[in-house]
Amino acid sequence: MNTADLFGPSALERARLVWLHNTLHAHAHRYYVLDEPSVPDAEYDRLFHELQGLELRYPELLTADSPTQRVGGRALAQFAQVRHALPMLSIRTETDTQGSGAENFDARLRRELGLTELDAPLDYVAEPKFDGLAMSLRYEKGVLVQAATRGDGEMGEEVTQNIRTIGQIPLRLPLGVPAVLEVRGEVYMRRDDFETLNQRQREKIAAGAKGEKTFVNPRNAAAGAVRQLDPAIAAQRPLSFFAYGLGEITPALKGGPDFVTHLELLLTLKSWGFPVSTLVQQAHGATELVAFYADIGAQRDSLGFDIDGVVYKVNSLVLQRRLGFVTREPRWAVAHKFPAQEMQTTVLAIDVQVGRTGKLTPVAKLAPVFVGGVTVTNATLHNEDEARRKDVRVGDTVIVRRAGDVIPEVVSVVFPESASPEAPPRGAMFTMPGSCPVCNSLAVREEGEADYRCTGGLYCRAQRKQALLHFAQRRAVEVEGLGDKLVDQLVDAGVIHTLPDLYRLGFRAMAEIEQVTTDALYARLSDTERQHIALEQLKSLERMAQLSAQNIVQALEKSKQTTLPRFLFGLGIRHVGEATAKELARHFGKLDAVMQASEAQLLEVADVGPIVAKSLRTFFDQAHNREVVEQLRACGLSWPEGDPAPLAVQPLSGKTLVLTGTLPSLDREQAKARIEAAGGKVAGSVSKKTSFVVAGAEAGSKLEKARELGVPVLDEAELLEMLNGRV
Chain residues binding ligand D41 by CB under 6 A are: 89-91, 127, 129-130, 134, 150, 186, 244-245, 311, 313, 330, 333
Of 308 and 451, nearer to ligand D41 (C-beta) is 308
Distances (CA, A) of 581 to 186, 376, 585, 602, 724: 41, 33, 6, 12, 13
Nearer to ligand D41, 4 or 71 (CB): 71
What lies within 8 Å, CB to CB, of 354 at 6+ separation is: 360, 436, 437, 438, 454, 460, 462, 463, 466
Q: How far is the CB of 119 from ligand D41 (least distance, A)?
A: 23
Separation in Å, CA 487 to CA 157, 439, 483, 625, 664: 58, 17, 6, 20, 37
Beta bridge partners of 184: 136, 245
Query: Measured from the CB of residue 621, what is the shortest distance to ligand D41 in angstroms?
Result: 54
- HSE-up of 310 (CA within 13 Å, CB side)? 32
Q: Is the peptide bond before 67 cis (omega within 30 degrees of 0)?
A: no
Specify the amino acid at residue 301.
Answer: D
Dihedral sign computed on CA atoms, order 16, 18, 24, 27: negative
Return the ∠ at Cα 565 (arms to 559 and 568), rounded to 5°. Answer: 85
Q: Measure Cα distances from 650 to 79, 606, 642 in Å.
A: 52, 9, 22
Instruction: List phi, psi (to 5°) of 211.
Output: 75, 10
Nearer residue to ligand D41 within complex by CB, 336 or 465: 336
Please state the closest distance from residue 89 (CB atom) to ligand D41, in A: 4
For 723, residues 6+ apart whose C-beta sits below 8 A from its C-beta are: 606, 651, 652, 674, 675, 678
Q: Considering beta carbons, is residue 239 or 666 the nearer one to ligand D41?
A: 239
Smallest distance from ligand D41 to CB 399, Å? 21
Handedness of CA 564, 566, 568, 570 (dihedral sign): negative
d(CA 542, CA 46): 47
State which residue, 183 or 460, has the beta carbon closest to ligand D41.
Answer: 183
Output 257 or 275, the one with its CB closest to ligand D41. Answer: 275
Give the number of other CB atoms < 10 A from CB of residue 473: 16
Nearer to ligand D41, 248 or 488 (CB): 248
Q: At its nearest, how many Å lie between ligand D41 and the CB of residue 312?
A: 9
- Residue 129 is a catalytic residue: yes
For residue 355, the minimal CB distance to ligand D41 (Å) is: 38
636: left (phi over 0), alpha (psi -120 to 50) or beta: left
Question: 691: left (phi > 0), else alpha (psi -120 to 50), else beta?
Answer: alpha
CB of 310 to ligand D41, least distance (A): 8
CB count within 10 Å of CB 197 equals 22
Handedness of CA 14, 16, 20, 22 (dihedral sign): positive
Q: Which is nearer to ligand D41, 313 or 453 (CB)?
A: 313
CA dist list (Å): 98 to 122, 129, 289, 533: 20, 16, 12, 52
332 sits in which H/E element: none
Beta carbon of residue 72, minimum distance to ligand D41 (angstroms, whole number):
8
Cβ proximity to ligand D41: between 261 and 690 the closer is 261
Catalytic residues: 129
